[in-house]
Amino acid sequence: MDHFNIAVIGLGYVGLPLARLFATRYPVVGFDTNPKRVNELLAGKDHTLEMEEALLQSVLKNKPDANAGLFCSADPEDIRTCNCYIITVPTPVDRNNRPDLTALLAASRMAGTVIRKGDLVVYESTVYPGATEEDCIPVIEQTSGLTLNVDFLAGYSPERINPGDREHTVEKVRKVVSGSTPEAALLVERLYASVVRGGTHRAPSIRVAEAAKVIENTQRDINIAFVNELKKIFDRMGIDTNAVLEAAGTKWNFLPFKPGLVGGHCIGVDPYYLAQKAQEYGYHPEIILAGRRMNDSMSEYVAGEVVKLMVKRGIRVTDAAILVLGITFKEDCTDIRNSKAADVVAALKEYGACVTVCDPWADADEVKREYGVDVCREMPDSPFDAVVMTVAHRAFANIHVNSDLFYSIR
């Protein structure tokens, strides 16, 4: 392949930064099935706040052509002339925590309608080992009538986007690359190495690259589960968990994890992908699933601890005014997917409390739609019986609220 004409399928937290980066060097069509999202981007805006407007606007163009730049579209016809298709759609779990490949398979079908001989398709979405070659590529082959490694090549290069992180951006982070053949791996590496300053690591197979990605977040999940369990233990002992971690952290090889609510579309989801695949091979992953159970239990634990503190102080829980600080899944980002803070709110309401939620980052309409919760962006002036910090936004660092009871999981 002498030149790359790139289509990035999926313009969310992963796809948009990647499309913008490639557009500094190549012609790129960013495709998304949501016309509202496409129109927003064509206007040079990004409601997720992951992309600085000046950076986005510097690469935007109003039609696809052979020159470097980014054109955004919701019309599959606009990606038909591309020769490299990069798929960056979400891979969530369903209500039973089973992997949901609906969006990934739909993107594969669409790629199959436009791919031609000699083209390259690369997946970035987090999956279990084997998903690219066993689930996705057969869909492309069936739709297109083409054969992998005969008519087209495939690769996998897992995303490493961290929402809200302005330091570890896509061009700075080392990229794992892999391919369906050694030739494909070299092609994928050449593509990413041309724009990523952090360098590349060529994995020996797609399955290895898939496995590497899914254990990155699983490892973090297990480590956070450990300190969450420590918090439950030390709370019973009347010991300050943060003070314990600070003391232990003076040892050179102690890992600096903190207790917290583990939600979002990565750490709170990816371990289930690995667990599902492990079970298909007849192995029950005890540590992985134990970590998930521990972290999924923290919302109820936080609500219960707040209620216990209120009772001890003689505060009536029913109809109590409680302020919850933060509803996004993590600090300093707009993403509310799989928010465990929302579970804390729901649990406090079940106790009969009147809960007010404040979050300067969250989109109020999106939160209302997803969780049925009203959100204010400015700190309320009214007094509260209790204040619960669920998300440590920088904006909350020096807040002063009218309440005698303040609880933070951190």
Active site residue 266: yes
3-state helix/strand/coil string of the chain: CCCCCEEEECCCCCHHHHHHHHHCCCEEEEECCCHHHHHHHHCCCCCCCCCCHHHHHHHECCCCCCCCEEEEECCHHHHCCCCEEEECCCCCECCCCCECCHHHHHHHHHHHHHCCCCCEEEECCCCCCCHHHHHHHHHHHHHHCCCECCCEEEEECCCCCCCCCCCCCCCCCCEEECECCHHHHHHHHHHHHCCCCCCEEECCCHHHHHHHHHHHHHHHHHHHHHHHHHHHHHHHHCCCHHHHHHHHCCCCCCCCCCCCCCCCCCCCCHHHHHHHHHHHCCCCCHHHHHHHHHHHCHHHHHHHHHHHHHHHCCCCCCCCEEEEECCCCCCCCCCCCCCHHHHHHHHHHHCCCEEEEECCCCCHHHHHHHHCCCEECCCCCCCCCEEEECCCCHHHCCCCCCCCCEEECC
Catalytic residue (one of 72, 82, 84, 266): 266
Give catalytic residue positions. Answer: 266
